[in-house]
Amino acid sequence: MPSDLSTSLQYLKGVGPKLAETFAKRGLFTFEDALYYLPRTFEDRRQPTPIIRLVPGLKAVVRGKVVDSKWTGGRGRRQFEATLKDASGKPLTLHWFHTVPSLKDEFVLGREVTVYGEIHFFRGRLQMNHPDFAGGEVISPEFSGVLPVYTSPENLSQKVVRKVVRGAVESSMPLIQEPLPGAMLERLGLCDLKTALKMHHFPETVPDAPTLRRALDRLIFEEFFVFQLGLLLNRERRALAPVMQDSSGVNELVKSLPFALTGDQERAISEITRDLGLPLPMTRLLQGDVGSGKTVVSLAAAVMAARSGYQTALMVPTEVLAIQHFQKARELLKELFPVLLVHGAEKMVSEKVASGESKLVIGTHALFQEAVRFHRLGLVIVDEQHRFGVRQRRELIDKAAGVPHLLMMTATPIPRTLSLTLYGDLDLTIIREKPKARLPIRTRMIFERDRETLYGAIRKRIEAREQIYVVYPLVEESEKLDLKSAIGMFEELKKVFQGASVELVHGRMASEEKERVLDGFRRGAVSVLVATTVVEVGIDVPNATLMVIEHAERLGLSQLHQLRGRVGRGTKASECFLVSKVPTQRLRILVQSDDGFVIAEEDLKLRGAGEFLGTRQSGGTGFRLGDIVRDGRLLNTAHEEASRLLVEDPGLEKPEHKILKKMVETRWKEKQDFVTGG
Ligand code: ADP
Ligand code: MG
């Protein structure tokens, strides 16, 4: 028996360091890991099948007498063959292609043996290749009954895997204590832990699907529940965030705006300012489609922080966007306080941040730099949050002396199940209403051969003194090549539209140069802006009315939608042209819909949840059994139950929660890396 469940599998009898290493590669390090290493299916070996009833493809147990056994195969390739007969009188050939000397001693003429394997039809005979076998008298539990079938690490045989897992589970059983309160199990209709594990590892019968599902649900629920408790407990243990009480500046800002806020914007501001006034750290996601006016909402929050004596850091994914936010904020907040843009580690800049003179500091990951030290950081705003990794956000949060409030903004809807796993409890504010006077954007597909039509459309816009984006996607693997073709396109457009101002902007350019070009575009001095996807997020030029996306088939739906959102921001009718070689389903969706929520959902469907969630958002969600998409309902229940339990017993101090608390603490340590500040 292991001393506790975190003991390395290496100490299981019959498993040495080498075998343990093989299991470790599959994520099986400890006895506990083995407990939750569930079989993928079961084999029913309880009843032998008479040979006469065997058919090819069937996996069966056969019991019979050895009537013949011999070495076969010539020229150095020794093979072994034995023939069994049972009461039905029909023969079954057993065949080994490469062989073990002991076979001859096992399959002695006249002996009664039991074998298991898949039946083939070979040269007019029924045959079983490399069967699993046991002597007639003693049939070990590793051979008979209903056997679990596990995914094999490396190419270990099922026999070995089964033996190790079985051994580990069996010897762990005395250590297993039920962590979940009995009343909860009863209320949710879940079975206890030992029953769930036994049903998987030592089934007495082949469990039917609903029964198995219930046992699995129990284990997945436990996994989610323990994790949610960890998140919530951790959150409660955090230090308090600053209480901000001076909202006078918010009204001043709102009055000074050149437009009236939409109802949703007003609601968003009031939810956020309410949060800022509470000592509980805010973790709020502001979700609103492209162009729904999230920026001004976040500025209102920054104003509240500033008036209350705290600094705000606004983090954005690209420098271009940083510059734009900076200009916008400076313009809107000029009456209120100075705003600072962090470029590099310029000394003067750092001093202004450190002294607290700068109330709102805007930048990209440059904000993470060691040299940047805040005086009193009270609010962190992350724009286009989906573009940042969990770790990056955490680094910024750690810059605050205490715990800052956190406001994230996104145009890409995050499924609730995902936010629950990443943040535990994320408050959500959704802006659905778009600012008035926004005209729909007409979207169409354009194929290579229609380039003249495209140029005609561009020319018309130039003549009307409107502005045009031509986007060239850079794909990481072929960045250099793509950049070359973006430059090529730029040269061509310059030639085609002689007399008009055509400029190029891309991520590799020096930032002063970038700024110069973008500034020209913003002022209307540049008509056609050829750009890489650096303009994807946030750029706001109301006079731009045509978006051309070259190689549109290379981009994801949400990305295309974001790009398209760069136009249609003013009062003139805008268009978006998706240039591609072939029409694709993705592009069609875009032509049909302008609703970011619909598009995100379609994107999820097309790309599959795994990819949508896994790679972009979290790098895998790190659950052993649970799948946050498939088991979303269980995750929600787990979250509710965890909140409920903590109301009843805030620190999990009650004696009946002792086992649970220990489990939460152990597992939390392993998971921590993976979760954001929330
Ligand atoms: P996003 O939500 O995509 O970040 P922005 O905050 O960039 O959107 O807003 C897009 C444009 O709409 C900006 O020019 C902004 O000034 C303007 N805007 C924001 N709110 C309103 C409103 N209530 N009425 C009119 N225009 C607005
Ligand atoms: Mg924005």
- pLDDT for 65-101, tens place per residue? 999 988 887 666 788 899 999 998 899 999 988 767 7
For residue 438, what pLDDT is reported? 64
How many structural domains is the chain composed of?
Answer: 3
The residues, ordered by sequence, that sit 6+ positions from 318 with a Cβ below 8 Å of its Cβ are: 364, 507, 534, 536, 537
- Residue 235, pLDDT > 90, answer no
Average pLDDT over residues 6-30: 88
Q: Is the CB of 611 under 6 A from ligand 1?
A: no
Residue 588 has pLDDT above 80, yes or no: yes
> For the residues 236-254, what does the mean pLDDT come to?
86
Long-range contacts of the stretch 335-338 (C-beta < 8 A, 24+): 335/252, 335/256, 336/249, 336/252, 336/253, 336/303, 336/306, 337/303, 337/306
CATH number of the domain at 67, please: 2.40.50.140
For CA atoms 431, 432, 436, 442, give the dihedral sign. positive
| Residues 636-663 pLDDT 10s | 899 889 988 988 898 899 999 999 999 9
State the sign of the Cα–Cα–Cα–Cα dihedral 551, 554, 559, 561: positive
Whether 324 lines ligand 1, by a CB cut-off of 6 Å, is: no
Q: Which of 560, 553, 533, 547 is nearest to 476 (CA)?
A: 533
492-511 pLDDT tens trace: 999 999 989 999 988 778 87
479 domain-assigned:
yes
Confidence of residue 481 (pLDDT cuts 50, 70, 90): low
Looking at the structure, do residues 385 and 454 belong to the same domain, yes or no? no
CB 646 within 8 A of CB 653: no
- Token pair for 583: 């029409």
For residue 383, give the ligand 1 atom closest to its CA: 4
Q: Which atom of ligand 1 is nearest to the CA of 297?
A: 6
Ion ligand 2: residue ranges with CB closer than 5 A: 538
Separation of CA 293 and ligand 1 centre (Å):
3
Whether 612 shows a pLDDT value over 60: the answer reads no
The whole-number pLDDT of residue 192 equals 94
pLDDT band at 678 (very low <50, low <70, confident <90, very high): very low
Q: What confidence category does residue 421 fall into, taking pLDDT thresholds of 50, 70 and 90?
A: low
> Looking at the predicted structure, is the pLDDT value of residue 673 above 60?
no
pLDDT of residue 487: 86
Q: What is the pLDDT of residues 151-204, one digit of tens each?
A: 888 878 888 899 899 999 999 999 999 999 999 999 999 999 999 999 999 988
CB contact set of 172 (below 8 Å; sequence gap of 6+): 1, 2, 5, 31, 32, 34, 35
Confidence of residue 141 (pLDDT cuts 50, 70, 90): low
403 in the same domain as 456: no
292 in contact with ligand 1, CB cutoff 6 A = yes
Secondary structure element (H or E) that encloses residue 294, with its range: helix 294-307
Instruction: State CA 62 to chain mean position distance.
Output: 47
Distance 509 CA to ligand 1 centre (A): 28
554, 466: one domain:
yes
Tell me the mean pLDDT in the region 621-633: 74
581, pLDDT greater than 90: no
Residues 521 and 503 reside in one and the same domain: yes
Q: What percent of the chain has pLDDT over 70?
A: 84
Q: Each residue of 403-417: pLDDT tens digit?
A: 789 898 988 776 666
> Can you give the pLDDT at residue 476?
53
Question: 293 in ligand 1 pocket by Cβ < 6 Å?
Answer: yes
Mean pLDDT for the stretch of residues 530-542? 74
Q: Does any ligand 1 atom lie closer than 6 A to the CB of residue 290?
A: yes
Task: Give pLDDT, residue 594.
Answer: 82
Residue 670 CB: number of other CB atoms within 10 A?
11
The least confident of 143-147, 346-350, 530-534 is 346-350
| Domain final residue pick, 431, 462, 485 | 431
Residues 473 and 570 in one domain: yes
CATH number, domain at 524?
A: 3.40.50.300
Neighbours of 437 (CB within 10 A): 8
Give residue 619's pLDDT: 35
Residue 225 pLDDT > 90: yes
Higher confidence at residue 560 or residue 595? Answer: 560
Are 207 and 215 spatial neighbours (Cβ–Cβ below 8 Å)? yes
pLDDT of residue 84: 93
Residue in the structure block whose two tokens are 């949050």? 385
Pocket test for ligand 1, best of 540, 558, 594, 597 (most atoms within 8 A of CB): 540
Count the Cβ atoms, other than its own, within 10 Å of residue 39: 18
d(CA 337, CA 394): 27
Cα separation, 420 vs 618, whole angstroms: 12
Name the residue range of residue 303's domain: 248-431
Rg (alpha carbons) of the chain, rounded to whole number: 33
Judgement on whether residues 413 and 553 belong to the same structural domain of the protein: no
Select from 309, 230, 295, 306 the least CA-distant residue to 257: 295
| One domain for residues 339 and 253 | yes
Same domain, 412 and 460: no
- 551 by DSSP, 3-state: which? coil
Let me know if residue 502 belongs to a domain.
yes
The structure tokens 């152990």 sit at 666
Q: Could you tell me which of 665, 544, 638 has the C-alpha nearest to residue 237? A: 665
- Across all residues in the chain, what is the average pLDDT? 83
422 and 498 inside one domain: no
Give which of 371, 317, 363, 373 is closest to 340, Cα–Cα: 363
Q: Is 262 in the pocket of ligand 1 (CB under 6 A)?
A: yes
